[in-house]
Amino acid sequence: MNYSKVDLHTHTNLSDGAFTPCELIELAYKNGIQALSITDHDSINAYDEIFECANDYKIELIPGVEISTDLEDKEIHLLGLFINLESDELKKYLNFFREERFHRAKRIINKLKNLGISISIDEVLDNSQNSAIGRPHIAYTMIEKGYVKNYQEAFERYLGDYSPAYERKIHVSVQSALKLISEAGGLSFVAHPGYMKENILQKLIEYGIDGIEVVHPSHNENQIQFYRGIVNQYCLLETGGSDFHGGKKMDFENLGKYFINYNQLSAIKNMIHKK
Ligand code: AMP
Ligand code: ZN
Ligand code: FE
Ligand code: FE
């Protein structure tokens, strides 16, 4: 049996994480992780210049992405693993989504302006490294300019779901995201299902997800056993990871603590080969 640590859910500063892809790899190495997937929100830019770094630390990299989708007006996150980073369809979708996020950020900034908070799109872009711009980047800008004391206040008073400056993201259906992942040669997993109702998970299984993220910091032991049972019952794949972001999320202890083992990664790889 091979029990090496495999973490298939992490974020870098190219979405809403704190560390650069290379810094994350170094941290993963220091925490005993042997295989890693960087699954930034709607972005694969982390993979642009990272393979050398992964090689230096002898970390096996699994190409991945976390895609935000919609099902019955609820936001569902899907992890696409072993995706082909050169897929034109995938690149086209991610570019489109990035542009949509940019326009949404401008709408949020406008709403903030009407609430007496003056920040510019350029200031927000400085915080987002020009990638998948989101509410966290706006929150950081608000902190920097002294409009709020901390991240939590930014969300509670202004940016949180249905708060005064909230704007929805565009709707991407689960089905279209599943198709995208599959056509890019990847496998799709429901991310952190702990928060969703059972009938939603049932629908996702009917739509053809390949697996479930069983191990996640938000799941307690009962949930882990429950999702593992579902994985077995429906012959799905199990994945897991830390959902590490670093920085202001204060989740440092999660890296190296939430993982699957290499045998489970091998099971995922076997399915790729059968596709
Ligand atoms: P976005 O993709 O722009 O809608 O931003 C979503 C991200 O904002 C999430 O991944 C969280 O990191 C963060 N977020 C959303 N709601 C809250 C909240 N109430 N408190 C803190 N962070 C939040
Ligand atoms: Zn995130
Ligand atoms: Fe997520
Ligand atoms: Fe995540």
CATH number at residue 270: 3.20.20.140
* Residue of 128, 129, 43 lying closest to 83 (CA atoms): 43
Q: Whose alpha carbon is nearest atom 19 of ligand 1?
A: 160
Asked if residue 159 belongs to a domain, the reply is no
Q: Retrieve residue 94's tokens.
A: 């991610």
Asked if residue 139 belongs to a domain, the reply is no
pLDDT value at 4 more than 70: yes
Asked if residue 106 belongs to a domain, the reply is no
Amino acid identity for residue 192 in this structure: H
Asked if residue 100 belongs to a domain, the reply is no
Q: To test the ligand 1 pocket, which listed residue (10, 155, 161, 254) has its Cβ within 8 A of the most ligand atoms?
A: 155
Give the span between the Cα atoms of 251 and 220, in whole angstroms: 16
Asked if residue 41 belongs to a domain, the reply is yes
Number of domains in the chain: 1
pLDDT value at 129 more than 80: no
Q: Retrieve residue 233's tokens.
A: 């019952």
* Host domain of residue 211: 6-85+185-274
Asked if residue 12 belongs to a domain, the reply is yes
Q: Name the band, by pLDDT with cuts 50, 70 and 90, for residue 131.
A: low
Asked if residue 65 belongs to a domain, the reply is yes
Q: Name the band, by pLDDT with cuts 50, 70 and 90, for residue 130.
A: low
Ligand 4 is a single-atom ion; what residues have CB below 5 A from it? 66, 243
Asked if residue 132 belongs to a domain, the reply is no
Whether the CB of 134 sits within 6 Å of ligand 1: yes
* Residue of 21, 79, 15 lying closest to 51 (CA atoms): 21
Please indicate, yes or no, whether the overall pTM of this predicted structure exceeds 0.85.
yes
DSSP symbol at 218: T
Q: Whose alpha carbon is nearest atom 3 of ligand 1?
A: 134
Average pLDDT over residues 142-156: 97
Whether the CB of 158 sits within 6 Å of ligand 1: no
Q: Whose alpha carbon is nearest atom 2 of ligand 1?
A: 134
Q: Name the band, by pLDDT with cuts 50, 70 and 90, for residue 250.
A: confident
pLDDT confidence of residue 15: 84
DSSP symbol at 171: P
Average pLDDT over residues 41-67: 94
